[in-house]
Amino acid sequence: MSNTPIKTFNVREIREQFPALRQQIYGKNLIYFDNGATSQKPQVVLDAINKFYSKENANIHRGVHYMSQKATTEYEESRKKIQRYINARKSEEIIFTKGTTDGINLVAHSYGELLKPGDEIMISAMEHHSNIVPWQMLCMRKGLTLRVVPINERGELLMDTFEQMLSKKTKLVAITHISNTLGTINPVKDIIVKAHAVGAKVLIDGAQSIQHIKIDVKDLDCDFYVFSSHKVFGPTGIGVLYGKEQLLDSMPPYQGGGDMISKVTFERTTYNELPFKFEAGTPHVAGGICLGKAFDFLDSIDLKAAEEHERFLAKYAEDTLDTFEGVKIIGEAKNKTSVVSFSVKGIHPFDIGTLLDKQGIAVRTGHHCTQPLMDFFKILGTVRASFAFYNTKQEIDTFVEAFEKSLNMLK
């Protein structure tokens, strides 16, 4: 990494690499503001998917033939890229999964096996259902207690309460890095230090952070970090669980099958080593390889400038929306990313979402898989515009015009 090329950030150039952004919906230019749900894919990723299935398709880790070995090499190269990107110590610490949900379930089953009745799992009030339900299920299975760190009206964690809730019984803190509904960036570094002080492990749900901020798992010192490829410009159906080697070594396998074994007899099976111990069956080979291409793409741009651009967009959208009577921004944390969730007095989010859609604008409406959070704010749902670095100020202006038109129709 001695002579790193100079990285730039130019929205227009970046947009050119995303063919999905250049299309019309209902005769209108598409404005894609649903990046929190999933991101669009750059040409390099699309080309790699096409190339893999056209020329390189083979099963991996098993074949003596050329194609199998080539696919294996590429897949393992991709693992190393991801390791470098998030600054993990070893590529063995990078486990390919189906996505965030799968990664959390893996930890809940496998690390969960090591826990005993009376132990506590701690989550927060702003978690996605994916980071609630697997823990509830684990608690039921093993007689553990689930504890929920509360938040304030701005959508920030109550850190004092968090500290008071920690005890020797706390075995795992599973917390989202960034709230998909509120955009809040949680002080995860602080959380990790405090959790470690009582001997608890920490899982960071990185579904909404990997695409917005530079992740360094060594610096964070988290025990697990999970994310989905599809939210970080890669294909769907693949994701990553990072775990500290020692910890992963101490955990039993999650699923049994091919690839995860060392030797099988009917009497006894010995397991493969990391990372394969946790990767039973034929993995999503194309997905793994193409996720690597998504990280190549990210590596080619100035991420700091991209992040600034995203924050500018969010601030601009919030400030503009705020001028409308009856609009309430949901999620006003001091430290937040490019998610703008809002409600409008007397108007159902579904109505706004439907009319925006018909004007070519894709937003998300509803509870965003965070029903307990909606209960906290005493609302049924919000309209959420979530931006990526390929969005523009001009798109926000068009969105605001369309929003105004929708309001006039609904009033």
Partner 1 sequence: MNDIKQREESILAEFEMFDDWMEKYEYIIDLGKELPLLSDDEKTNERLIEGCQSRVWLNTKCTDNVIEFTADADAIITKGIIALLINLVNKLKPQDLVAYDFGIIKEIGLQEHLSPTRSNGLNGMILRLKNEALKHCIS
Ligand X SMILES: Cc1ncc(COP(=O)(O)O)c(C=O)c1O
Q: How far apart are CB 344 and partner 1 at their closest, in Å?
A: 12
| Pick 353 or 407: Cβ nearer ligand X | 353
Tell me if 246 contacts partner 1 by CB under 8 A: no
Alpha-carbon span 185 to 163, nearest angstrom:
18
Tell me if 184 contacts ligand X by CB under 6 A: no
Cα 201 to Cα 36, 93, 139, 384: the distances in Å are: 27, 16, 16, 32
In the list 78, 131, 338, 382, the residue contacting ligand X (rule: CB under 6 A) is 131
| Binding pattern for the stretch 20-39 against partner 1, x by CB under 8 A and - elsewhere | ------xx------------
- Are 369 and 180 in contact by the 8 Å Cβ rule? The answer is yes
Tell me if 128 contacts ligand X by CB under 6 A: yes
In the list 348, 371, 372, 379, the residue contacting partner 1 (rule: CB under 8 A) is 348
Q: Which of 310, 315, 326 is nearest to 404 (CA)?
A: 326
Q: At residue 77, what are phi and psi to the nearest 5 degrees? A: -65, -40
Is 369 an active-site residue?
A: yes
Alpha-carbon span 238 to 29, nearest angstrom:
30
- Are 62 and 68 in contact by the 8 Å Cβ rule? The answer is yes
**Residues whose CB is less than 8 angstroms from the CB of residue 373 and which lie 6 or more positions away in sequence, other chains included:** 125, 126, 127, 179, 181, 182, 367
Binding segment (CB under 6 A) for ligand X, from list 96-104, 265-273, 323-331, 337-345: 96-104
Question: Which of partner 1, ligand X, none is residue 348 near (CB under 5 to 8 Å by kind)?
Answer: partner 1
Question: Which amino acid is located at 59 in the chain?
Answer: N
Q: For 342, which DSSP code?
A: E
Q: Which of 242, 243, 239, 255 is nearest to 287 (CA)?
A: 239
Residue list 41-80, contact with ligand X (CB under 6 A): none
Binding segment (CB under 6 A) for ligand X, from list 54-62, 140-148, 204-212, 245-253: 204-212
Q: How far apart are CB 365 and partner 1 at their closest, in Å?
A: 7
Q: How far apart are CB 318 and partner 1 at their closest, in Å?
A: 23
CB count in 10 Å sphere of residue 196: 15
**Residues whose CB is less than 8 angstroms from the CB of residue 289 and which lie 6 or more positions away in sequence, other chains included:** 48, 52, 71, 74, 75, 78
Q: Judged by CB under 8 A, how many residues of this single chain contact partner 1?
A: 18
Name the token pair of 296: 């190549």
- Tell me the β-bridge partners of 149: 124
Binding segment (CB under 8 A) for partner 1, from list 36-44, 228-236, 328-336, 352-360: 352-360
Tell me if 358 contacts partner 1 by CB under 8 A: yes
Tell me if 130 contacts ligand X by CB under 6 A: yes
Residue list 211-230, contact with ligand X (CB under 6 A): 228
Q: At residue 400, what are phi and psi to the nearest 5 degrees? A: -65, -40
Binding segment (CB under 6 A) for ligand X, from list 203-211, 256-264, 270-278, 301-309: 203-211
N residues, the chain: 411
Tell me if 63 contacts partner 1 by CB under 8 A: no
Question: Which of partner 1, ligand X, none is residue 228 near (CB under 5 to 8 Å by kind)?
Answer: ligand X
Tell me if 355 contacts partner 1 by CB under 8 A: yes
Q: Point out the residues that are catalytic.
A: 369
Binding site for ligand X (CB under 6 A): 99-101, 128, 130-131, 176, 180, 205, 207-208, 228, 369
Binding site for partner 1 (CB under 8 A): 26-27, 347-351, 354-355, 358-359, 365-366, 380-381, 405, 409-410
